[in-house]
Amino acid sequence: MGLKLRLDLPDQAMSVASLFFRSSTPSNEAVKTLKSLNDQRTQNMKVIQEKMQLTPKEVKRFNPIDAFPGDIVIFARVINLLRGLSSTMNVQIVYLDIMRPFAESVLLGSISRGPTVDTSWIHDSPVHSDVESKLRKLLIELGSIKKILGIQVCAYKDGKVIIDTAAGVLGRYDPRPVQPDSLFPVFSVTKGITAGMIHWLVDQRKLQFDQTVGDIWPGFGSNGKETIKVQGVTLSCN
């Protein structure tokens, strides 16, 4: 769009974007909001001063923006007018919710979509079993009705791989195909596996719920963790 910055601070750029599209403030909250914005600006300028090694006099005159596109200027004025109108009417408008559908449509229109949902939608890899063959047919059906965006399935039986299938794309705005070695941010999804393994070990009488973790793993029992029991671990996995 023509926006040029004089320094590279991604977190600052995101902070400015959040400020630009911030929700409108009712008139009775205007003073509090203005104070918060001024405090944030002061904090941001301190970060810029440290980054650029500027003197107090230089930082007052420093403009982090080298070039500002005219389209954004007009858009900013319209946003400010709407924000003022919302404040006068004492209502709160969430501008990100308004802009999101338009941003999504631009993103979806600017990327090359992957292949249609058919056999090529499945990653080309050997079929290990009849179960896997049936699974792939099911995945194609689910993908055709948009129940699945991207998926990996792997299963073992008696120590042998019987399913190792990848299908779909990496994300709504990332049309790259899912492969067996694709990584996904699954965060806490492994907690269920951990809790299941602990319950299995208890069933096998190899662990007891009232046993302290330090008895099993001596290195764990320090820094105030001496009293944590196996049962507590399963609760933290919920």
Q: Which one-letter DSSP state was computed for residue 65?
A: E
Residues 49 and 146 in one domain: no
Instruction: Name the domain count of the chain.
Output: 3
Q: Does residue 31 register a pLDDT over 80?
A: no
Q: Are residues 136 and 193 both part of a single domain? A: no
Q: Which of 6-10, 65-69, 193-197, 217-221 has the lowest mean pLDDT?
A: 65-69
Kindly state the average pLDDT of the residues 102-131: 75
Residues 179 and 193 reside in one and the same domain: no
One domain, residues 167 and 228: no
SS3 151: strand
**What CA–CA distance (Å, rounded) separates 1 from 118?**
38
Q: What is the mean pLDDT of the chain?
A: 81
Q: Do 8 and 53 reside in the same domain of the chain?
A: yes
Q: Are residues 95 and 28 in the same domain?
A: yes
- Its domain, for residue 163, covers 119-184
Task: Judge if 159 and 174 occupy the same domain.
Answer: yes
What one-character-per-residue DSSP string does 88-123 give? Answer: HTT----HHHHHHHHHHHHHHHHS-----SSGGGB-
- Phi-psi category of 48—alpha, beta or left, where left has phi over 0 and alpha has psi -120 to 50? alpha
Q: Are residues 153 and 198 in the same domain?
A: no
Residues 86-105: pLDDT tens digits? 878 887 788 778 888 887 77
Q: What are phi and psi of 130, to 5 degrees?
A: -65, -35
pLDDT band, very low/low/confident/very high, at 238 (cuts 50, 70, 90): low
- The verdict on 19 and 102 lying in the same domain is yes
Q: Please give the Cα distance from 131 to 164 (Å, whole number).
A: 11
Residues 13 and 53 in one domain: yes
The pTM score is: 0.45
